[in-house]
Structure formats: C-alpha cells, structure tokens
Amino acid sequence: MQGILLKYGEIALRGKNRYIFENRLIDIINSKIPKEYKTKKEQGRILIESPNKMDYNFIIPILKNIIGITYICPCYIIDTNNIDNIKEEATKYLKENYTQNYTFKVKSKRANKNYPLNSIEISKEVGGYILDNIENATVDVINPEVILNIELRSKTYIFSKIIKGIGGLPITGGGKALLMLSGGIDSPVAGFLTARRGVEIDAIYFHASPYTSEHAKQKVIDLAKIIKGFTSKMNLHIVNFTKLQLFLYENVPNNQLTIFLKREMLRISEQIAKNINAQAIVMGDSIGQVASQTIYSMAVIDEAANGISIIRPLATYDKQEIIDIAVKIDTYPLSILPYEDCCTIFVAKHPTTRPHLTLIRRFENKFSDKLNELRQNTIENDTHVMVI
C-alpha cells in the first residue's frame, strides 16, 4: 500500500504537552487534504493513507506548506514486520522507482527493540536479497545514490525519498501577533517566521491614498493571502494613513520624518493589537538595513509603544538570507513588483541614523492634541478589516 510518513522536529520535544501539538498538526493537515486521505499518529510519526492510489504530485505540495512538518516521506506500507515480506516489498519498491543502474544501501530502524533482528541485521538481510534479485543495483555504503529506509513500527514503512518541509510548530495557543505588513520583501518573511513559531497572525497595512495606488494595496492583499496559506486564517487591517502622514510631513524635521511616521504607525498598531487581543507586534526590520533600522532608531521607535512586545524575527538576517526565504515561500515575485508603499512616498531626503528622542518628544508634545485626534480618527474611521 502507498502512503506518506510525516516526521516532525520540535514537536517531539514538547514533553507531556506533545499530544496537543500532534493533534493540532493532524487537524491542520486534515483541513487541507481531501477527505479520502486518512491521517493518524504512528509512534512518533504521522501517517497518511488512502484506499486508492496516492496522488503524490497533488498532496506533497500541500504538505510542504504546512507548518510543523519537518520531512515528508512517500512510502510503501506493509501491515506486518515479517522479514520475508519486507525483503519482497523493498525489492518491489526499488524496481518500481529506479530503472537505471544505481548504487544503494539499506538503513533500518526498529521501534520495537524486542524484534528478533537488530537494525544492522535487518539491513543486511534486505540488502542481500535486493542484490540477488535486482541486476542493476550494487551496494555502496559510503556514498550511495539511493538510501533505502526501512522503519519497523506497528507497521513497516519503506521509502527512499525524503522531502524537506517547513518545520516549526503548528499554531496551537502560542499567542497572537499583529504583523506590520508592507509590500516589500522583509515583512512577509517576518510574518512567516513568526507563524512558524506557532503564533497566530493578523496583519496591518498602512495605505496612503491617493499617494499610493490601488495596485500597491492589492499587492499587500496578495502577500497576506500567501502568508495565510501557512497560518490557515488571517485578518488584514487596512489603515488609510494619509492625513496623519501629511500632518507630520508639514510639521516635523524632514531628516527625522521616518521616525515620526513609524512611531505613529506603532501607536496605531498597538491599539489595534489590543482590540484583537494580540500580545505582540511583528516588524520586518533588519539591523542597519536602512536609516530607520539602526539600533538607535529602533530604540527610539519602540519607545512609542506602551508596553506591548515588539518582535523582529529578521533583526540579524542579511538581505540575501531574507530574499532566500522570500523565494522559498513564494512572496518574492510579488514583493519586487514596482508599486510604492507609504514609507517610500514620504521618505526623508537625508534620514538620520541617530534620532534624538528629546527632540522627537518635544515636537510630539507640541502637537499632542492634533496627533491624538488624527490617530483616533484614523483608527475609528479610516481603518477597515479584510478577511483573507
């Protein structure tokens, strides 16, 4: 019988709470695959079976996007641990999957340590039988072209292809965060990495109509849909930030404009995070990437938050590492579309890398009534929620 054996990493370290993560991962898998596929636990693994021939080309791409799955192993399933059956099925498996000359070795594991043969003996038995029955196969235990894996559990599983999954932890009560999502490369990756730690994600996008186009907004919506594919559900809070931006543009020092803008974005994000019971705000900053992402700038920006946690998953990543992840999760082609976001439109001509908190507070205090009015109006009247 064909099947898929799924392996997980960190879930195995959850101790007495492990079953919660396993059950949640199974629920997520079942929500994404057809009902004809049956999913169950199997001694430290998750097994997917089907009464019909399994369509690997259909199901494997789905499984590759599910957080919590570390490895995906298309396999043969044998209902017994009988060594003669294992030898026959292993030989059949290789004949069906490899037709050219190749080198191989057999790698065995047994969950039941009372089994009459140990792992090395199982590998020798199966390997010898394969050599006697497949002409185009030769043994190479150092650098084989094919590693035939045999795992003896309640059933026996035979596989040679191991497909890497996303890993991480499935979303299971690990808290909720609000992602500050722009149309760039970084913030979608930050959202993905946060979700990969088992955190539920909502997103907020700051729009500057008419200075940013509807294409820019649609790009962010499409990026949110990709992130949602990893998290199962997401709400996108779209904020029309124009009035507040224009006020700051006209009244604060230009070289520190970006800092003022980000402090106001953070204050609005914090209020919306509290409204949706989120415990943290996620930002896509990478230290030193731009002027507003120096350690000095981040400290001044964070000071505007009123105690809510700020998560920066990309803080120590370089740009190429971020791009590599964006390519992997398929956000990169969207992120590089040439539609401006609100920060690029209102960017300072010569931004400071060491903003002065005293100066910024002085201006904010001077205009505090107006800023509070604009901020509250933005939250209450210029924000709408889109279910992704």
pLDDT over 90 percentage in the chain: 77
Residue type, 83: I
CA–CA distance, 313 with 323 (Å, rounded to integer):
14
pLDDT computed for residue 109 by the predictor: 94
pLDDT computed for residue 350 by the predictor: 77
pLDDT in tens, 334-381: 999 876 665 565 666 778 889 989 999 999 999 999 999 999 999 999
pLDDT computed for residue 48 by the predictor: 96
CA–CA distance, 295 with 107 (Å, rounded to integer):
49
Query: How many residues are recorded in the chain?
Result: 388
Lookup: tokens for 387: 């279910």
pLDDT computed for residue 47 by the predictor: 95
pLDDT computed for residue 208 by the predictor: 87
Q: How many CA atoms lie within 13 A of 190 on its CB side?
A: 30
Q: Which residues lie below 8 Å from residue 70, measured CB to CB, with a gap of 6+?
A: 7, 8, 9, 164, 165, 166, 167
User: Is the backbone peptide bond immediately before 210 cis, with ω within 30 degrees of 0?
Assistant: yes
Contact 189, 314 (CB under 8 A): yes
Residues (pLDDT < 70) of the chain are 173, 339-348
Per the DSSP assignment, residues forming a β-bridge with 105 are 147
Contact 286, 247 (CB under 8 A): no
CA–CA distance, 209 with 211 (Å, rounded to integer):
5
pLDDT computed for residue 212 by the predictor: 82
Residue type, 345: I
pLDDT computed for residue 209 by the predictor: 83
